[in-house]
Amino acid sequence: MFHFPSWTLTIRDTAGLLVGGGLLYVIVIVTFGFSPMTTDVGYQPTQPVPFSHAIHAGELGIDCRYCHNTVEKAGHAAIPPTATCMNCHGMIHTESEKLELVRESAKTGEAIPWVRVHDLPDYAFFNHAAHLAAGVGCSSCHGRIDHMETVFQKEPLSMGWCLDCHRNPEPHIRPVDQITNMAWENDADLGAKILAERGIEPNQNCSTCHR
Amino acid sequence: MSLERVMPVGLDNTSDDPSGRQALIVNNNTYESITEKVCGVVEDPRIDKRWLAMFIVALGGLGMLFSLIVYLIATGVGVWGNNMPVAWGWPIVNFVFWVGIGHAGTLISAILFLLRQDWRTSINRFAEAMTIFAVVCAGTFPGIHVGRIWLAYWLFPIPNQMLMWPNFRSPLLWDVFAVSTYASVSTVFWYMGMIPDIATIRDRAKHPLRRLAYGVLALGWRQNARAWHRYEKAYGILAGLATPLVLSVHTIVSFDFAVSQLPGWHTTIFPPYFVAGAIFSGFAMVVTLAVPARAMYGMKDIITMRHLENMNKVILATGMMVGYAYAMEFFIAWYGGNRYEQFAFINRATGPYFWAYWIMVSCNVLSPQVFWFKKARTSIPIMMVVAILVNIGMWFERFVITVTSLSRDFMPSSWGYFKPTLVDIGMLVGSFGLFFTLFLLFLRFLPMIAMAEVKTVMNRPKQEESAERPEMAASLN
């Protein structure tokens, strides 16, 4: 006849096993659920040209809109064409090895194959202009780009992350003239005031993004 | 004890004599002979040729179902005959059909238990097995009916990175909860009821592997009074819980239709009508399975003619309820004065699917009427024919409700005609393969009759009586 070991018969004796199993379960769930593998946070591909935001936006203090010039008017924030690079690099660092590909692109007209870091699925229609007009600054979603040697994904860009802000926008709103100010410190009270003054109510329905 | 006169033990236990109670188990069976018979099926080392032949056929059907599912997922739901007015075709018809089949098992084990119907003991085990296997078949269809099967887990309310939850106002979501609860509760009910019998097999097992397998399944069951006391209590509570469950599950399935606005679907009679239909089709399936099983495994004295007759009475009663519902739908269509509803029902009886409607009526309403006669109720060939007709008729009932209502509704510009494809047909046939594969495995490896329960309703065998209680035996003589 088959016997179960007596220690299996009471909860008290198996409590250790249950607690240990529960802990292991929580650890596994947290490790994998919050890992960058799941959320894409920290995604930092190598780019064809070693472009440094830290130099251009940080040290040189170029405004974001000099290169990403459609960001206030269009849904899509443009990657600058080679011509924008050549505005300066036609004269500066003309012999630099790092810029070899840029010069070649300018000569042949072939686009530089930049690797997209912030990649939303095509069924989610994000609009840059709408967010900038409402007073959402670059750094709120992209982090301190002016400190990044190579751009990486700062936030998960998940739907829950989007909705968190649409449901509670106050801490993320700033005056529109400060949107490209990377050093700006967000302030929930000021945000609330701006929202109230301008009557901004973020949408939460499906058709806002999933058109 | 002596107040109830027990009728003399004979082979025919179908006559009702108000002066006494008919034996449910005939042919001088003793406790030992019941155990020998039921365990003998499981313990027989030889493989029955008939069983093997049926099993191979069933496996073939299962293989076809699985390959068709793979084909479906790889290609898309367009491999079915579903079109735009009729977006719910055979998969949903089959789903409701199988869920309905699955309800007789719980009815027999739970509701008849609450009503203290002793005749349930001989048939409840494999009726419950039938329930579970039918629910497996049923659960397959809504699972694959969605176009993107890999997102089906979105139906469950799990916290997620989208901050999204299912919409709790859809009866299709209630289906998820109803069917998954029903499947789990019936499995627990079935398994719990089986533990004492598995323990019997364990105790009789000679091979150590069998001892281990059945020992694990028996969960260390000992035949002591405290365990039995708790077992009976738990069984009663589960029966009490399963009863509202069985009614609500098929009610929820009926809500899939009744909650919509479609003429022919939007009807308040659907919940009780569907439940009656489920019991009807379920009992027909039990008869269809019990008759060959009792012959094949020599269980004719445990599943007696009286059991079959009682089931036929239930089939007659629920068949009449279903017939009443058919009539009432037509009456309300006329009485309600809604042109769309009137058209929907005239379309059922005389439209392009008139043949399906009249197959349904003749199988479900007319064929059980023969059961008014005892000769028909106790005749094996007649009851087999009627039971199979009822199964066919109840499949057509779901087909008629689903397809005829969808194919012609409010706007004539969106009328269509549904034609099944080979994939539709193959999946229906394949689902029988899945069902019979599981059912045949059950017959071979688990006790098909609840021995422990049957023994509580037997005539106490004479020799034991006199051995244990000589004074009682003397007073009876």
pLDDT digits (tens, 9 = 90+) for B419-441: 999 999 999 999 999 999 999 99
Question: Is A2 in Cβ contact with B216 (below 8 Å)?
Answer: yes
Identify whether B202 is part of a domain.
yes
Residue of B148, B160, B161 for testing the chain A interface, max A β-carbons within 10 Å: B161
Identify whether B7 is part of a domain.
no
Cβ count near B411 (within 10 Å): 8
Question: Is B216 in Cβ contact with A160 (below 8 Å)?
Answer: no
pLDDT at A1 over 90: no
Does residue B223 belong to the interface with chain A, where contact is any CB pair within 8 Å?
Answer: no
Write out B262-289 in H/E/C secondary structure: CCCCCCCCHHHHHHHHHHHHHHHHHHHH
Residue B347's nearest CA partner among B283, B289, B291, B415 is B415
Query: CA torsion sign, B284 to B289 to B292 to B293?
Result: negative
Question: Is A158 in Cβ contact with B162 (below 8 Å)?
Answer: yes
Task: List, in sequence order, the alpha helices (H) in chain A.
Answer: 11-33, 36-39, 53, 64-67, 82-89, 100-108, 128-134, 138-142, 159-167, 188-198, 206-209
Identify whether B220 is part of a domain.
yes
Beta bridge partners of B21: B6
| Residues in A touching B162 (Cβ below 8 Å) | 158-160, 163
pLDDT band per the 50, 70, 90 thresholds, residue A3: low
> How far is Cα of residue B218 from the mean position of the Cα atoms in its chain?
25
pLDDT band per the 50, 70, 90 thresholds, residue B11: low
Q: What is the CATH number of the domain that holds B309?
A: 1.20.1630.10
Amino acid making up residue A99: L
In eight-state DSSP terms, residue B364 is I
Find the distance separating the first CA and the last CA of chain A, reported in whole Å.
Answer: 65
Does residue B163 belong to the interface with chain A, where contact is any CB pair within 8 Å?
Answer: yes
Average pLDDT, chain B: 89
| Shortest alpha-carbon distance between residue B165 and chain A (Å) | 12
Cβ count near B77 (within 10 Å): 18
Can you give the pLDDT at residue B475? Answer: 47
| Model confidence pLDDT, tens digit, residues B354-391 | 999 999 999 999 999 999 999 999 999 999 999 999 99
- Mean of the pLDDT values across residues B118-141? 92
pLDDT at B316 over 60: yes
Provide the number of structural domains found in chain B: 1
pLDDT band per the 50, 70, 90 thresholds, residue B466: very low
The model carries a pTM of: 0.88
Identify whether B135 is part of a domain.
yes
By residue range, what is the domain housing residue B54?
Answer: 42-148+172-451
Does residue A4 belong to the interface with chain B, where contact is any CB pair within 8 Å?
Answer: yes
- Say if residue A170 is exposed, middle or buried (CB neighbours under 10 Å; 0-12, 13-18, 19+): middle
This model of the complex carries an ipTM of 0.80
| Shortest alpha-carbon distance between residue B211 and chain A (Å) | 6
Identify whether B378 is part of a domain.
yes
Question: Is B162 in Cβ contact with A2 (below 8 Å)?
Answer: no
Q: Please enumerate, as own/partner, the contacts of B216-224 that have beta carbons within 8 Å and a separation of 24 or more.
A: B216/A2, B218/A2, B219/A4, B219/B195, B220/A2, B220/A3, B220/A4, B221/B195, B221/B196, B223/B196, B223/B199
Can you give the pLDDT at residue B1? Answer: 39
Closest Cα in chain B to A205? B164
In percent, the amount of chain A with pLDDT more than 90 equals: 75
Cα B92 to Cα B95, B97, B315, B388: the distances in Å are 5, 8, 24, 21
Place of tokens 């719990």: B192
φ, ψ of residue B21 to 5 degrees: the values are: -115, 135
Identify whether B477 is part of a domain.
no
| Shortest alpha-carbon distance between residue A5 and chain B (Å) | 10
Does residue B200 belong to the interface with chain A, where contact is any CB pair within 8 Å?
Answer: no
Alpha-carbon Rg for chain A in angstroms: 24
